[in-house]
Every structure is written in C-alpha cells, then in structure tokens.
Structure 1
Amino acid sequence: MRKICCYLFVALLFGTTIKAQEFRAGPLVGASFSQVDGDYFSGYNKAGFTLGAFVKRPLAKHWDIQLDIAYIQKGSREAPNPEKGKYDDYKIHLDYIQFPLVARYQYRQFSAEGGVSVGVLLGSKEEIDGTPIGDLPEHEMVPFQDIEWASVFGLNYHVNERLWINARWLYSINRIRIPYDGKIPVYDPKAHWLSRKPGQYNNNFVLTFYYAFDRIL
C-alpha cells in the first residue's frame, strides 16, 4: 500500500503524457483537531499538526485536482476535570502518512473541494494517566487498523495565486479499530462502540496553509 500511494503521487507529479497541463506544487503545513468516534468521549480535544507537500493541475475552467502527501497526527483526548468527577487523563495518539485526493471548484477567492484520502498508520499509543493501556494489569490494547480510508470535504480562501488557507474535514470510511468487548475501566461498558456503526472512526478538522511554487510543467 505504501508503494501504491507513492506511485500515485509520482504519477500525478510527473504525468508528462497529459499535454498542455500546468502542474504546480509546494509545501503545506497546518494544525489538526481530532476525536475518535466510538470511544466514550467527545470533542475535538486532541491537537496535532500536519506537514507535507502537494501537487495540483487544472482540469477545466474553475476546476482543478490536487493530491497531498502529508504526515498528520490524529487521535482522542479527555483531560481530567475533578469538578465534573473526571479524574483520568485519557489519550489516543495516532500518526499517519496520508494521501488526500480532491477535486476543487474555485469562484473568485473561494473554492470548495471534495474527495477521498488513504492513510497509512505509522504508530499508535493509547494511555491513561501516562501509562500505556497495554501495561495496565489484565488489560490489552486493541490494535488499530494499518490502513484508513476517509472522505474529505473542504473550503479554501485564496489569498493570492500562490497562497491559500484550507479548512478540511476528514471522516473515516472504514473503521480504524474493531469493537471491543473487554473491561478497560476508561470505557463505558454500555455505550462503548455500540452506536449504529460498531467500531471506532477518526473524525478530524484540519486547518492548513498551502504555498505553490512556479509551474513545474
């Protein structure tokens, strides 16, 4: 899968068989705000960052297509709140390399986009009060899936031809972890993963700055 994603990026970047197309590429950097649907908590409380590069080309008037390759941090966080009777510091930390592919329609300085993303899990950590769940007595962390497919929707504000700001929502299409039937105390045994879609799903908003260099083709 990693090779397929890399080939896809290179093919779009160096697709010289498509004549009269103008390719542009550059870096991207941004912040990610995440939650995991299917755990006992809610709120985009897990902050992280994203860093990578992109390549895009026009398809027609007002339309273009763009592919990113980016490292991104996702996960979940519930901080202690003694006033509400919450004493555990719970975290899920997920590291992905992801490849969002979107089609975009631009009107003046604004544009809307939609597409799909494939993410390859680089690493995962789940802990309570700084202790990995797998290290707690009689607890075993349920593994996360290696591949995540996600839907992508976004809005852009184009400061100028080279610089734009993107607000993007990504939601898992496939579950990132299968239903859990154990007795980890941080989970609610009645509510945990018993929603209409059993399992866990990434749900995150990303705010990203893009900068395009001169045309490369």
Structure 2
Amino acid sequence: MNYLNKIKTSILILGFLLNIGTFTSYAQTIKGGVLGGLSASQIDGDTQKGYDKLGFFSGVFVEKMFTKVVGAKVELYYIGKGAKNNAGGVEIFKTHLNYVEMPFLLTLNPIEHVEVDFGFAYSYLISAKMFEYGDEVPNSAIDMHNSDFSGIVSGSYYFSTNVAFNIRFDYSLIPVKNNPNWYNSNLSFGFIYKFN
C-alpha cells in the first residue's frame, strides 16, 4: 500500500469515526472537531536560522476521553512547513514543504479550561520546492524524503466548551533530507472548534 492510499484510508477512518460520534449514542464519549491556524517554521541543518517561513494548517480531529483528565486524540490536517532567509530585503533562500500530517496524541486536562496534548505524528510530503535568489531549484536537487515522523507537544485554552486557542510545537525525529541532515522545526498558533 503506497502513502497516498494510506492517507485515503486514514481520511475514511476519521470520517467513519466522526459519523459514529454524530449519529449514535457513542457521541457522549467520542467527539470530533476542526482546527486551523498559522505556522512558523525553520529547518535545522540548512544553515538558515529563525522561524521565518510562514504557512498555515487546517484539518479535523476525533478524541475520546477515558476519564475527566485523560484521553486520546487523532488529528488529520494539511500544514505548510519549510524555511526562509531574507537579507537586506533580498530573498536569498526559501523552501516550501507541503504535508498531510496525522498526529496521535495523549490528552490531559490538568485544570479547568486547559488541555495538554503530546505524542507523535506521521507526515506525508505532498510537494516540495526550493528557491535560491528567487529562482526555483529543480525538484531532483532537493532530494526530500516522502515521510516525516515527529514529536509534538500542544497546549490549548478553552474559552468555552467548544472553542479554544491552541499553540503547538513539533520537531522531526528523523531527517527529512540527508547530506546534510535536515529536520523540520515548527511552531503553530490556531483555534480549535469542538463539536457537541
């Protein structure tokens, strides 16, 4: 089974779980929702520094709480990552990396209105482009890996039962490119809407 088929299967499973949560009594324990926001990225190992590459993320999630404090969550979203370096108003270097990402998270609710998630994510690279001084480098020169496996930590503050502000950090656990080794480093800010 190739990566595209795995992604399609994952989307079908998430859709099925969302339908269960919507149309059966299981909705009391399984909930779904949407999430989205902005991401700031850099690539460790590419000689550039700073979270200067802006992008966005958008997707869906399902979660199940086992107790009032502990639960599990699966998310599926698009996210833009990469790196960028401007010097004196000139764009010296830019890398666009577009992923479909699927985190598997442990959820903790330590205090009222606060949710903390941590776990791992599998990411599939949809497309990659690299630019030097405004000119695109051919894809063959990028030699990016199709998959990324990262660690994630996330915190959310719920303004209401349904709406939360979310901040998250994820970092590649394996290189996304070799010779030299590149690692994605991403900081994201966004909102979560949880269905009743």
TM over 0.5: yes
Q: Cα distance, 1:156 vs. partner?
A: 1.2
Structure 2 match to 1:89: 92
Is 2:186 the partner of 1:204? yes
Aligned residue-pair number: 188
Higher RCO by CA contacts (8 Å cutoff, separation 6 or greater):
1
1:174 counterpart SS class? coil
Q: Cα distance, 1:8 vs. partner?
A: 5.0
TM-score by length of structure 2 reads: 0.86
Runs of 4+ in 1 over 4 A off after TM superposition: 18-21
2:130, 2:142 within 8 Å by CA — same for their partners in 1?
no
CA distance in structure 2 between the partners assigned to 1:59 and 1:21 by the alignment: 11
1:5 counterpart SS class? helix
Cα 1:213–1:94 shift into 2, 3 Å: same
Larger Rg: 1
Greater helix content: 2
| 1:50-199 matches, cutoff 5 A | 50-81=57-88, 89-106=92-109, 107-134=111-138, 141-179=141-179, 193=180, 199=181
Q: Cα distance, 1:88 vs. partner?
A: 5.1
Q: Cα distance, 1:141 vs. partner?
A: 1.3
Q: Cα distance, 1:111 vs. partner?
A: 2.1
TM-score by length of structure 1 reads: 0.78
Q: Which moved more, 1:148-157 or 1:3-12?
A: 3-12
1:98, 1:117 within 8 Å by CA — same for their partners in 2?
yes
Q: Which runs of 5+ in 2 are unaligned?
A: 1-5
Is 2:14 the partner of 1:9? yes
Aligned CA RMSD, in angstroms, stands at 2.4
Structure 2 match to 1:188: none
